[in-house]
């Protein structure tokens, strides 16, 4: 821990609570990113209508924000070395607060786009900087509890609390209140951080600015964000723009990796020395899987509620809300097992994987008649599993890194989690749309007017509508339309159930791969 040098007139320390102000401030200030980062998923249509944006224009707000965050993750070590880690976090908090406040009033698309870039870049610096400060100020023995508290703002809030809050605001007030709600958290977070003298004393290694690396990473970030967020909409490899973006992104990444390997003195945007640590190598791969699970399930559950169950945004958000308590409880249970009982950091990862597999398997049996009581057990198990998974992976990945490499490790860990989540959402979107189309074709092939059961069903519905005053010919056409809607609903339901099961299958395959990867790293990079 940094030395406590602030004393009163007779030499007694007066800043012993400073680290706890830092912890409270870090948890509070990253809530601004949790709110801003999930805002477009719930308020998409409302914002499009307010700013008069086409789908293509609106898409820039989405992938521009993501790209800016990825770039900020990558350049955070350089920013911290140049300006100081504490100053970077404070400035990023102020920028995020101002950008969210401005976004709640702006109706001009181009201005909103600039504000989203500011939100993404400041959010990236906040996530890396705040977590790095916690690792530097608090001793290692306290990290399990410290990282549990931090995860409430960085992981729990965007996965459970933010969707409900945003849904309620959309149904009850207006989308602009979503961004405005970030302001109190930003102000409180900055104020709490200012009360921590220990955070101000944290130093960061000076890093030579890598202009070429920043340009390459920026190019790759925008290309990857565009592909993963818009690839499904443009039919992936059947669209020349998507193919070109893939080529540009892959080329930029390959060039930067080559520079890192062969020109380490000038290529300083990353430091590949972190990969000599076997725990980090395992954790960075595990973070991809954890991001897939977190953001993928956070996307597909509300989407199912809105598309199939026809819930309002508030009701859809409330599906995930009950898991908040379970998520937090498992975080602190994991911290207790590691910090007090001295169990290995990886101890709860199997519980997290098995819990997620069980939760998604239970959800794969959902139907159009399912309600919140039917889905709640699976949602609670999911929350419990995510807590077991995320804290263990964070501690295993970052606790053993040297302080000179910590910022690089946190940055790469954050990038891995973000890319895993983007990949999960992109895969599930494509999977659901493709499965829906295939299911509709298969179901429709069994429904044609010449079939007795279909004719009887059309006649029954038509007679019912006729009895209620509808003209006979129109009643028959309406009956056919209603049956078509039922076919579409069933096709969509089966697609979502398959998507839930695909997450279970993903971990069924990923779990043994992670085990083999851990064994391999132990043999190659472990003690000789």
Q: What is the pLDDT of residues 76-132, one digit of tens each?
A: 999 999 999 999 999 999 999 999 999 888 888 889 999 999 999 999 999 999 999
- State the CB neighbour count (10 A cutoff) for residue 246: 17
* Three-state DSSP state, 445: coil
Question: Residue 241 is inside which H or E element, if any?
Answer: helix 240-262
What are the C-alpha distances in Å from 486 to residues 366, 444, 458, 482?
Answer: 16, 11, 12, 6
**Contact assessment for residue 512 and residue 361, using Cβ atoms and an 8 Å cutoff:** no
**Contact assessment for residue 391 and residue 148, using Cβ atoms and an 8 Å cutoff:** yes
Q: Which residues lie across from 139 on neighbouring strands?
A: none
pLDDT at residue 38, rounded to an integer: 80
Instruction: For residue 378, give the nearest of 434, 448, 446, 297 by alpha carbon.
Output: 297
Q: What is the C-alpha to C-alpha distance for residues 291 and 425, in angstroms, rounded to an integer?
A: 10
Q: What is the C-alpha to C-alpha distance for residues 435 and 438, in angstroms, rounded to an integer?
A: 5
Helices 323-339 and 143-151, interaxial angle, to 10°?
A: 170
- Pull the structure tokens for residue 224: 């990857």
**What is the total residue count of the chain?**
528
Instruction: For residue 353, give the nearest of 240, 462, 504, 489 by alpha carbon.
Output: 504
- Pull the structure tokens for residue 147: 């990282």
Q: What is the C-alpha to C-alpha distance for residues 392 and 347, in angstroms, rounded to an integer?
A: 7
pLDDT at residue 124, rounded to an integer: 95
Q: Which residues of the chain are modeled with pLDDT < 50? A: 1-14, 528
**Contact assessment for residue 382 and residue 354, using Cβ atoms and an 8 Å cutoff:** no
Helices 85-103 and 109-137, interaxial angle, to 10°?
A: 150
Q: What is the C-alpha to C-alpha distance for residues 414 and 283, in angstroms, rounded to an integer?
A: 11
Q: What is the C-alpha to C-alpha distance for residues 301 and 386, in angstroms, rounded to an integer?
A: 15
The CA-based dihedral angle spanning residues 161, 162, 163, 169, taken in that order and rounded to the nearest 10 degrees? 110
Q: What domains, with CATH codes, occur in the chain?
A: 1-209 (1.20.1250.20), 212-267 (no CATH)
pLDDT at residue 14, rounded to an integer: 41
Q: What is the C-alpha to C-alpha distance for residues 437 and 440, in angstroms, rounded to an integer?
A: 5
* This prediction's pTM: 0.90
Helix residue ranges, H only, 52-152: 55-83, 85-103, 109-137, 143-151
Report the chain's mean pLDDT, rounded to a whole number.
86
SS3 content of the chain, % helix, strand, coil (to 5): 80, 0, 20
């Amino acid at each position: 821990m940094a030395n406590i040098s602030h004393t009163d007139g007779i030499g007694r320390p007066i800043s012993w609570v400073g680290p706890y102000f830092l912890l409270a401030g870090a948890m509070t200030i990253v809530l601004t990113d949790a709110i801003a980062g999930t805002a477009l998923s719930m308020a998409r249509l409302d914002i499009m209508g307010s700013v008069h944006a086409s789908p293509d224009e609106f898409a820039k707000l989405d992938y521009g924000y993501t790209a800016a965050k990825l770039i900020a993750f990558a350049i955070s070590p350089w920013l911290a070395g140049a300006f100081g880690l504490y100053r970077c976090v404070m400035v990023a908090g102020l920028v995020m607060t101002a950008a969210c406040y401005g976004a709640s009033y702006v109706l001009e698309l181009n201005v909103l786009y600039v504000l989203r870039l500011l939100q993404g870049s400041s959010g990236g610096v906040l996530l890396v900087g705040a977590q790095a400060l916690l690792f530097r100020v608090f001793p290692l023995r306290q990290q399990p509890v410290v990282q549990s508290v931090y995860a409430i703002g960085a992981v729990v809030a965007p996965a459970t609390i933010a969707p409900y809050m945003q849904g309620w605001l959309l149904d009850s007030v207006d989308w602009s209140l979503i961004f405005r709600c970030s302001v109190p958290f930003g102000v409180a977070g900055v104020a709490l951080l200012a009360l921590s003298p220990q955070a101000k004393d944290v130093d960061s290694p000076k890093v030579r600015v890598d202009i070429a690396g920043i340009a390459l990473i920026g190019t790759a970030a925008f290309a990857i964000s565009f592909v993963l967020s818009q690839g499904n909409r443009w039919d992936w490899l059947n669209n020349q723009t998507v193919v070109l973006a893939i080529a540009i992104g892959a080329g930029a990444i390959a060039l930067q990796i080559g520079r890192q390997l062969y020109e380490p003195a000038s290529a300083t945007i990353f430091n590949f020395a972190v990969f000599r640590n076997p725990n980090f190598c395992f954790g960075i791969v595990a973070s991809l899987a954890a991001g897939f699970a977190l953001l993928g399930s956070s996307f597909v559950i509300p989407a199912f509620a809105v598309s199939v169950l026809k819930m309002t945004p508030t009701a859809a958000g409330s599906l995930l809300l009950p898991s908040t308590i379970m998520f937090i409880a498992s975080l602190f249970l994991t911290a207790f097992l590691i910090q007090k009982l001295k169990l290995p950091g990886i101890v709860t990862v199997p519980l997290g994987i098995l819990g997620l597999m069980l939760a998604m398997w239970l959800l794969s049996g959902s139907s159009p008649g399912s309600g919140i009581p039917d889905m709640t057990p699976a949602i609670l198990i999911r929350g419990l599993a995510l807590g077991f998974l995320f804290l263990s992976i964070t501690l295993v990945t970052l606790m053993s890194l040297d302080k000179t490499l910590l910022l690089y490790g946190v940055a790469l860990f954050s990038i891995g989690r973000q890319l895993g989540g983007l990949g999960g959402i992109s895969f599930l979107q494509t999977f659901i749309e493709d499965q829906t189309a295939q299911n509709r074709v298969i179901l429709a092939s069994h429904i044609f007017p010449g079939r007795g059961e279909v004719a009887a069903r059309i006649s029954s519905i038509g007679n019912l509508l006729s009895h209620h005053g509808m003209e006979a010919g129109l009643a028959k056409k309406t009956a056919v339309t209603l049956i078509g809607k039922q076919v579409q609903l069933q096709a969509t339901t089966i697609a979502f159930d398959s998507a839930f099961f695909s997450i279970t299958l993903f971990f069924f395959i990923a779990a043994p791969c992670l085990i083999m990867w851990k064994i391999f790293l132990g043999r190659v990079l472990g003690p000789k």
